[in-house]
Structure formats: structure tokens, C-alpha cells
Amino acid sequence: MTNLRIAIMGYGKIAKDQHVPAIAKTDGAELVAIVSSRSESPEGVPVFASLKELADSAVAVDAIALCTPPKGRTKIARDALSRGWHVLLEKPPGATLTEVEHLSDYAESTGLTLFATWHAQYNEAVDKAAALLANQEIISFAIHWCENVRKWHPGQTWIWEAGGFGVFDPGINALSIATKILPMDFHVHEASLFVAENHQAPIAADIKFSGSFAEEASAHFDFRTTDDEIWTMTVKTNAHSLSLERGGSLLKIDDQVIVKQHANEEYRLIYEEFVNLVRTGQSNVDLAPLKLTADALMIGRRHSVAPFPD
């Protein structure tokens, strides 16, 4: 079978660090173009200023990977689908639930593939945790997701704007893990959103969840850490304590290491699935992490904190 010819739109940090090398390592995938306002691209890959310019060129394209900011992304995705191109969405898939739902309906009407990706789910340790928890009684869980925004989002001022998600841009990764590994329904009970006076999106958040938990279920997200990032989720069952660390790549049970994944394979596995979805004529649009985020932003109490310099 011929390769899936992919163009990346939005050539920022995530595209350079993850998408480009992942496509290069994925059998059946090929990077054929970059769509960006910048002139830079991987060697030998042409750059276009817009989807229209790409469509009017001689470059043959099958699919678009959208690495643009979430606000406005679904309009671009709809344009790509209307041109007969399959679409991969970097997380979060869009700025609102409704627009992503409508986009999913539109993709279904075209018969094309729409793939809303959650890269943190693509770890062996996360799969193992889900299997181990499948038949367990969950007593409680706690998430701590803290990182330095200047390290992971340098110069990305859009993240502070309304619709930019703020600290939920990384925090939604933790929620995507939680919705995958926990074998029950749960929802946001209350939330506190800490917003710097010079920004619109939260710089930190504390969340409490409700569900069939005997003890508290919570999450703490913070962009202000200057130390090493903390990407940890701990789940207490009626029999054991399970922890996922390092963003879901390290699994421990009762402090014993069960899975330790060294190589970063998340994005390669995402593109492997994208190729398979296209070949089998399917879509994958999981909205559970976005729903929890939307609920937290909707009911969260806003607390003003000191200005945070970009």
C-alpha cells in the first residue's frame, strides 16, 4: 500500500520535537509539506502559507496534522476535510466541546478520518495500569501535574488567552490518562482556578472529583514550578497503591517498578494508529478529557494572583 502523505499545519515546538520525527519513524506515513507563516521546515520539505496554497500546488496530500493553537483549529480542520483530506488533531482537539462534536459529525458525513489525539495515553505503562485497575475497587486518586511554562511553551502567548487553556493545556494530558485507566465514571465536583492578573487563562488549578470513591479524588495543576516537572497520578485501590509517574511512562505498584519505558514512543504510536484508521475508514474522537476540562473551567471559582511575566 502507498504511504499516507501528510502535511503538518503549524510548525512550532510540538511539531518540530514530536510530529516530524514520529512521521519519519512510522511505516506507511510520509511528511510531504509544512503549512506555516514561517519559512522554516525540515530539509527538503516544501512550505506553504495556507491550505489553499498547498491545495493549488503540485504536492499530493492525503492528510493534515493540525498543530495550530486550539482556538480556531476546527475551522481549519473543516476546510481540510472539505478538500478531501483526513485530519489529525493535536490535543486539545478544539476550544469548545460543541465545535469538536460538530466537526466529528461533519467528518462522518464525508467518510474521512478524524483523529483527536491524546499522546499521554500512548504509553505501555498506561495500558498496563488500565488492565490492572479494570476489576479493582478504586478508593481514591490524586493527580499532580506541575511544570515550567517557559520550558514547555516558550513564546506561546496564545496559551494565556481565553480559549488557550492555560495550565489545562498540559493538565488535560493527566485527565486523558485518568479517563483511560479508571474503570468508573467520575466528574468535576468543584474547582479553583488561579489566574494571573495580566492573563485570561489559569496559571494553576485545583480540582475535586465526585464518583464512587470512598476517599477524596483530586488534581493539582501548576505552571509556576521552576524545578523538574512533576507528572504523577496515584490511585489507591482496596488492595494496592498504583502510581504513574513521568507523564505515564513509569508504573509502580506499592513502590515496586512494574513498567519503565525509556524511549518516547507516544507520537510514533499515534501516527501508527492514524495510518490504520485511514486504511480501515474509521475515526477516533474521544471527548472525555475535554469534557472534564470544560466542566472545570465552567464551574471553577476564579482567584486572582500576581502578574506572571511572559
Question: Catalytic site residues?
Answer: 91
What is the four-CA torsion angle of 215, 221, 226, 227, rounded to 10 degrees? 40
- Report the interhelical angle of 97-110 vs 288-299 (nearest 10°): 150
3-state SS class at 149: helix
Report how far apart, in Å, the C-alpha atoms of 95 and of each of 98, 166, 241 are. 9, 12, 35
User: What single-letter amino acid sits at 29?
Assistant: A
Q: At residue 160, what are phi and psi to the nearest 5 degrees?
A: -90, -10
Cα–Cα distance, 52 to 82 (Å, whole number): 11
DSSP 19-69: IHHHHHHSTTEEEEEEE-SSS--STT--EESSHHHHHTSS---SEEEE-S-
Per-residue H/E/C for 71-96: CCHHHHHHHHHHCCCEEEECCCCCCC
Cα–Cα distance, 265 to 125 (Å, whole number): 12
What is the rounded end-to-end Cα distance, in angstroms, of the chain? 47
3-state SS class at 273: helix
